[in-house]
Amino acid sequence: MILDVELNARLRDPTIAVRVAACIALARSGQPDAVDILIYALADWSSDVRRVACAGLGELGDRRAMEPLIKRTSDSLKQVRQAACSALGKSGDLRAVEPLIRRLDDTHVIVREAAKNALAGIMEWWQPDLGTLLCSRCLTKFEIRWTRTKAGERMAYLGCSYCSSASFGVDCSRLTAVLDSSWQSDCLLSDETLKVNWLLRQDWLGFDEVEILQAKREEVQKFLGRLKSDPDQLQKCKRIRCIVGPRLKMQDDLLRVVHSFFGRVEQTGFEDTV
């Protein structure tokens, strides 16, 4: 902590070389507060300080630095834009893909090359897990996509197969449709499972598991009606699990219908597995 206080003070020194040295030392220190201090340094009036701060944040690899680094890809100085692109490439963060694509048409070759290398780095980072990458906005798998620069050069990147964006990418091995009227969120990633609030996304099927927790009778009936309209998903349901909440226990007729749709039905709050 003492080290951080001293280096933080040096970032306010009037001499550029002192501030640059402070950024380098912060990146090497690994101290918890180093990220916040280096983010502060991204606003320094000196391009040398901003450039070194970008490089330091790239080495630290903290997700808190993503948005500030993305902002620096539009810096007025090419050396800062170059350093920001390189730092984003080291992060492996999919939110960096679209800002990097924009820099493929930068007016300076050093920035264009940094953006190309960064995109290739992110591609290499995620390619082994391409099969589990999903767009949380479209609920569609990722794929290798292509963009073309103004100079006509093609460049590969990872993006949603539907909307082409990479910004909403999540790594998940299972999709769960959740019917829970008490849940206000659109979706939640937990232990590589993306849980999707079906009551807010009623046009979506394509799930690997279902949880019916707190839902009105008509909501469950509407969900089952959507399944009937999709023969492929209906057939898939015969092989997947459906978890129902204890409140559905009182609705025996509806519970029997749920059993007829799914290959395996379990009730929370009860020991028996149906």
Contact partners, residue 178, CB within 8 Å, separation at least 6: 195, 196, 197, 198, 210, 211, 213
Query: In the prediction, which pLDDT does 102 show?
Result: 96
Question: Residue 270 to residues 164, 242, 267: CA-CA distances in angstroms?
Answer: 44, 14, 6
Note the pLDDT tens digit of each residue in 91-137.
Answer: 999 999 999 999 999 999 999 999 999 999 999 999 888 889 999 99
b/e map 124-142, b = 16+ CB within 10 Å: ebbeeeeebbbbbbebbeb
Ramachandran region, residue 12 (left: φ > 0; alpha: ψ -120 to 50; beta: rest): alpha
pLDDT at 174 over 70: yes
Element at 4 (helix H, strand E): helix 2-10
Residue found under tokens 């978890």 = 243
Question: Residue 120 to residues 88, 113, 123, 127, 273: CA-CA distances in angstroms?
Answer: 11, 11, 5, 10, 48
The full length of the chain comes to: 274
Query: In the prediction, which pLDDT does 56 show?
Result: 95
Can you tell me the distance from the alpha carbon of 245 to that of 150, in angstroms, rounded to the nearest whole number? 55
In what side-by-side order are the strands of the sheet with 241-244?
Answer: 187-190, 193-197, 174-180, 209-214, 241-244, 264-267
Query: In the prediction, which pLDDT does 272 show?
Result: 43
Q: Which two tokens stand for residue 126?
A: 């995620």
Query: In the prediction, which pLDDT does 1 show?
Result: 47
Q: What is the largest CA-CA distance in the chain?
A: 78
For 239, the 3-state DSSP assignment is coil
pLDDT at 271 over 50: no
pLDDT at 268 over 80: no
Averaged pLDDT for residues 263-268: 87
b/e map 173-193, b = 16+ CB within 10 Å: eebbbbbbeebeeebeeeeee
For 263, the 3-state DSSP assignment is coil
Element at 158 (helix H, strand E): strand 154-160
Can you tell me the distance from the alpha carbon of 180 to that of 26, in angstroms, rounded to the nearest whole number? 46
Contact partners, residue 100, CB within 8 Å, separation at least 6: 73, 85, 88, 89, 115, 118, 119, 122
Note the pLDDT tens digit of each residue in 208-243.
Answer: 999 998 888 899 999 999 999 988 888 999 999 999
Query: In the prediction, which pLDDT does 51 show?
Result: 97
Note the pLDDT tens digit of each residue in 57-102.
Answer: 999 989 999 999 999 999 999 999 999 999 999 999 999 999 999 9
Q: What percentage of the chain carries pLDDT values higher than 90?
A: 66
Q: Which two tokens stand for residue 189?
A: 């990633």
Indicate the pTM of the whole model: 0.80
Task: Share the mean pLDDT of the chain.
Answer: 90
Of the listed ranges 8-17, 195-204, 209-218, the least confidently predicted one is 8-17
Can you tell me the distance from the alpha carbon of 267 to that of 274, in angstroms, rounded to the nearest whole number? 8
pLDDT at 4 over 70: no
Confidence of residue 249 (pLDDT cuts 50, 70, 90): low
Q: Which two tokens stand for residue 195?
A: 């849980």
The amino acid sitting at 67 is E
